[in-house]
Structure 1
Amino acid sequence: MTSVDRPESVGSPPPFFVYGTLRPGEVNHDLFLRGRVAAEQPATLPDAVLYEGPGYPYAVARPGSAIRGELITPAPGRYAELLVALDLLEEYEGPGRPGNLYDRVVREALLPDGTPVPAWVYLASPLLARDLAASGTEIPGGDWLGR
């Protein structure tokens, strides 16, 4: 992990916005989040759309759309461990790396009351996002659980 990648470089460590297999009841939720999370709460990610992938979704930036998910707050003392585990799961190797499946970026998620919260989110890498926008299958309503 580079210094650019460390949570400290964006101020206080942001929570994670998850929208696919890390959501409650999905295959990776317990595998990656059990024992590492202090809180989970519903949230939306504005200006993004979901596309189907091979067993998991891809989020792609798109003004005017929104996706549903959860805001995950790591348990005290578990932040670094969770960050590394999620980067491995999402095949994120660092900012702008050509091998990235997803890029981890800070975006504002919205709580149900409309409160904005800066959060890490994994978006499809730029080349993949371009291909998805051209020929991918969009998930209606932006909700992986409703597919």
Structure 2
Amino acid sequence: MSVVVEPFVDAEHPADPYPGSVPVHSYAHHGGVGWPLLSDRTASAGWRVGDVDLDDWLAERDAEPVAERVPLLTYGSNRNPAKLTWLRENLGLTGPVVLLRATTRDLAAVWAAGLRVRDGQRPATLCAAPGAVEEHSVWLATPEQVRVLDRCEGRGERYRLVRLRTGSVVLEDGSLVDAPWAYTAATGVRLPLLVDGRPVRCADTAQDAALALRGEAGPDGLDVSEVDGDAGADEWPDRVFVYGTLRPGASAWSLISPLAIGEGRPATLPGTLHDTGRGYPALRLDGEFPVPGQVLTLRDPVTALARLDAYEGDEYRRVRVRLPDTSVCWAYVWASPDGLTGMPVLPHGWPQITTDRVLSSPSG
């Protein structure tokens, strides 16, 4: 049965006062219109627009799929639909924007020490806040969209682009986003404003009251590593779920073992595993079998994934999946579900075949 999704327009979420009105759900935005997103682990993107896989919805608009986007924590005006249109009109933002609602812990959006030159409003900045629980968003951003945000945020001058390791970020579908990208203070005017020695949370004080605050800049207390150069989608996550010939002891283990740290840990992924009849299995996400496999941590995910992509070939598609423990990893799923018609289902997983085969053929 089709799911009816009611789109919304920017006027329903005004940008002023800063940080603007934010939808209470995940959404995709394009051309001044937003579409609510529904989580669905059987979709290649993990999300749908109505009954359409988000990846297919993006492809209809000649846009990059979710797997080619980086998770960027947003906690200020960049969650506001009208601000997204402003970015399009003034800074050349292109393509659909994907914003996923997220819950943060031990982090807070607080008022910054300085004001915005553009309109004199006080902007938000991020700081460590033990015990705090807040609602923000994760922008699944294309590399080009990150470059636009670099200009908007004054990367290297007002804010810096970092990988964030303080606190936790959990998406609306329960996925844990470890070490997301984020913009944090690069200079004193964007450090937290301390009033009586304490930062002031944006959730506790509105913009008009924030403008009247008096205090001094203080440290944000964050554990971050500054990003050098562009943000790369293949850098997150640094884990891959393998379920066939790439598992330890199987025929292609010698291909992946130099790229991984140890033999990983056992895990299961809900789905359906098929026997292709070609010496390797095929995974689909639209089943309930607990497909057994191994989660491997990659030493250099960018290099490793390039080699694995070449090994898996066109029969497989690399997507991000959520495991039952909420962690996110890469997995290779069968690219053409229709091509599995008549192939036997493997309810107990793929045999640990150790016979040699040509490593240029796909594995699953």
> Which category of TM-score, normalised to the shorter sequence, fits these structures?
0.7 to 0.9
Specify the alignment match of 1:130 in structure 2: 338
**SS of the residue 2:344 aligns to:** coil
Deviations 1:4-43 (A, max 9, x none): 637733773341000000001101011x222211141101
Classify 1:144/1:22 alpha carbon distance in 2 versus 1 (closer, same or farther; 3 Å). same
Q: Which amino acid aligns with 2:290?
A: A
Write out per-residue CA displacement over residues 58-117 of structure 1, whole angstroms, 9 at most, x where no aligned residue.
Answer: 001223222000001012xx22221111001110xxxxxxxx21111101123xxxx221
State the distance in 1 between where 2:267 and 2:273 align. Answer: 15
Larger Rg, first or second structure (1 or 2): 2
Which residue is 1:86 aligned to?
308
Deviation at 1:146, TM superposition (A): 6.8
Q: Of 243, 246, 256, which aligns to 1:33?
A: 256
Partner amino acid, structure 2, of 1:140: P
Give TM-score scaled by structure 1 length.
Answer: 0.75
1:145 partnered with 2:351: yes
Residue pairs, 1:87-102, within 5 angstroms: 87-91=309-313, 100-102=314-316
Letter in structure 2 aligned against 1:59: L
> CA 1:35 to 1:140, structure 2 compared with 1: closer, same or farther past 3 Å?
same
The corresponding residue for 1:97 is none
Partner of 2:320: 106
Instruction: Give 2:68's aligned residue.
Output: 5
Amino acid aligned to 2:327: V
1 or 2 for the larger relative contact order (CA 8 Å, sep ≥6)? 1
What SS does the corresponding residue of 1:58 show, helix, strand or coil? strand
Bigger share in helix? 1
Counterpart-to-counterpart distance in 2, 1:14 and 1:117:
11
Structure 2: which amino acid aligns with 1:86?
Answer: L
Distance 1:37 1:24 in 2: 11
Question: 3-state SS of the aligned residue for 2:339?
Answer: helix
Distance 1:13 1:61 in 2: 19
Query: Do 1:45 and 1:67's aligned partners in 2 also have CA atoms closer than 8 Å?
Result: yes
Task: Report the CA distance shift for 1:107/1:137 in structure 2 as closer, same or farther (over 3 A).
Answer: same
Structure 2 distance, partners of 1:135, 1:17, is: 25
Which 10-residue stretch deviates more, 63-72 or 20-29?
A: 63-72
Give the 3 Å change call, closer, same or farther, for CA 22–6 of structure 1 in structure 2. farther
**What's 1:120 paired with?**
330
Is the partner of 1:71 in helix, strand or coil?
strand
SS in 1 for 2:331: strand
Q: Is the 8 A contact 2:272 2:284 kept in 1?
A: yes
Structure 2-normalised TM-score? 0.32
Match of 1:95 in 2: none
SS in 2 for 1:145: coil
Partner amino acid, structure 2, of 1:120: W
